[in-house]
C-alpha cells in the first residue's frame, strides 16, 4: 500500500534563531510498521514529529505521505491521513464534552451527523471510555484524558498514527491500558518516547536520533540491547533487557 507510505528525504530544519534541530534525516516507513523514535532530551524528536505533521516546514528536503508532498496546500489532505496524539492531552481537548472533542475532527470534515455519531461511539468504545462521553474533558484523570485524546484522533480514521510520549505521566495501570489500546491499532504507528520498555513492547523498528541526525535505524530488539550505541546517544539499555540471558546484553 504505497499510498500509506511515509517518506522523509534529506530533511533539515533550523529554528528562527538558526539552531539546526534536524540535520539531514532520511527514512521510509511502510504501511503497518510500528516505529519507535528515541533519543536523549533535545535530540530533535518533537521537531521531527512537527515536520511530519506539517506543523513546521523543512528548510530543506521533504516529507511525503504516499505520493503527496507535505506543503501548506496539501495539509488538509495530509491531516486526514496522519493523526497525532500530542504529549499533553490538554493541548488536544478543548470542547465542553468528551463527545464533542471526539466529534470535532469528523465534523470539521463536514461528515453528516449520523456518520459523526457512529465514529465517535466507535472510537470511545475502542479506547474503553464510552461512559465518559458527556463528561467535561478537563475534569478527567490523566489516563482518561489520554484515552479521550486518542479517541479524538481515531475518529478521524487515520492511516498513520503519530504519538508523542503516549505513556508520559501515567500510572502503571493506565500505561498498560494505553499500550494495549495502541497495540490494537493495526495501521502504521510512529511513537516517540523515553519509555524504552514501552518501545520494546510496541515497536518492531526503532530509529535513534542524536543531535538532529539518525544514529541508528533497525530492529528494536537489536538496537535497545546495543549498550555502546545507547550510551553514545545518551540513552540506557532498558532494565528489563540488562544482563539478558537470551540476548547476552551486559550493561
Tell me whether residue 25 or residue 179 sits nearer to ligand ATP (CB atom).
25
DSSP 3-state of 217: strand
State yes or no: residue 39 binds ligand ATP (CB under 6 A): yes
In the complex, minimum distance from the CB of residue 53 to ligand ATP, in angstroms, rounded to a whole number:
13
Residue pair 229/216 in contact (Cβ under 8 Å)? The answer is: yes
State yes or no: residue 21 binds ligand ATP (CB under 6 A): yes
DSSP 3-state of 211: coil
Alpha carbons 38 and 51: distance in angstroms, whole number: 16
Query: Segment contacting ligand ATP (CB under 6 A): 15-23, 116-124, 167-175, 219-227?
Result: 15-23
In the complex, minimum distance from the CB of residue 185 to ligand ATP, in angstroms, rounded to a whole number:
22
Residue 117 half-sphere exposure toward CB, CA atoms < 13 A: 3
State yes or no: residue 58 binds ligand ATP (CB under 6 A): no
Cell of 206: 526503532
Cell of 181: 489500546
Size of the site for ligand ATP (CB under 6 A): 12
Using CB under 6 A, which of 25, 38, 47, 101 touches ligand ATP? 47
Tell me whether residue 17 or residue 67 sits nearer to ligand ATP (CB atom).
17
Tell me whether residue 41 or residue 184 sits nearer to ligand ATP (CB atom).
41
Residue pair 192/163 in contact (Cβ under 8 Å)? The answer is: yes
State yes or no: residue 25 binds ligand ATP (CB under 6 A): no
Q: What are the start-end ranges of the H helices in the chain?
A: 45-53, 75-81, 98-108, 113-126, 142-154, 172-183, 196-202, 220-223, 227-232
In the complex, minimum distance from the CB of residue 45 to ligand ATP, in angstroms, rounded to a whole number:
4
Tell me whether residue 51 or residue 123 sits nearer to ligand ATP (CB atom).
51
In the complex, minimum distance from the CB of residue 5 to ligand ATP, in angstroms, rounded to a whole number:
24
DSSP 3-state of 8: strand
Alpha carbons 185 and 34: distance in angstroms, whole number: 10
State yes or no: residue 193 binds ligand ATP (CB under 6 A): no
Where on the chain is the footprint of ligand ATP (CB under 6 A)? Answer: 15, 17, 19, 21, 39, 41-47
Amino acid at each position: 500500500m504505497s499510498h500509506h507510505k511515509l517518506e522523509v528525504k534529506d530533511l533539515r530544519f533550523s529554528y528562527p534563531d538558526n539552531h539546526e534541530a534536524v540535520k539531514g534525516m532520511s527514512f521510509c516507513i511502510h504501511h503497518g510498521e510500528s516505529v519507535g523514535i528515541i533519543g536523549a532530551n533535545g535530540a530533535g524528536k518533537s521537531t521531527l514529529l512537527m515536520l511530519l505533521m506539517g506543523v513546521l516546514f523543512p528548510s530543506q528536503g521533504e516529507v511525503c505521505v504516499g505520493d503527496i508532498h507535505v506543503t501548506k496546500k496539501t495539509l488538509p489532505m495530509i491531516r486526514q491521513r496522519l493523526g497525532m496524539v500530542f504529549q499533553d492531552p490538554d493541548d488536544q481537548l478543548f470542547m465542553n464534552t468528551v463527545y464533542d472533542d471526539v466529534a470535532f475532527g469528523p465534523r470539521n470534515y463536514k461528515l453528516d451527523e449520523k456518520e459523526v455519531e457512529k465514529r465517535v461511539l466507535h472510537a470511545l468504545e475502542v479506547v474503553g471510555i464510552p461512559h465518559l462521553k458527556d463528561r467535561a474533558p478537563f475534569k478527567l484523570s490523566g489516563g482518561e484524558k489520554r484515552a479521550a485524546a486518542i479517541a479524538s484522533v481515531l475518529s478521524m480514521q487515520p492511516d498513520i498514527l503519530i504519538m508523542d510520549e503516549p505513556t508520559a505521566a501515567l500510572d502503571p495501570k493506565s500505561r498498560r491500558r494505553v499500550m494495549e489500546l495502541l497495540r490494537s491499532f493495526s495501521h502504521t504507528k510512529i511513537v516517540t518516547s523515553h519509555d524504552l520498555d514501552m518501545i520494546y513492547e510496541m515497536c518492531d523498528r526503532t530509529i535513534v536520533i542524536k543531535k538532529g541526525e539518525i544514529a541508528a535505524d533497525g530492529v528494536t530488539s537489536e538496537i535497545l540491547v546495543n549498550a555502546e550505541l545507547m550510551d553514545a546517544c545518551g540513552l540506557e539499555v532498558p532494565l528489563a533487557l540488562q544482563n539478558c540471558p537470551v540476548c547476552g546484553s551486559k550493561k
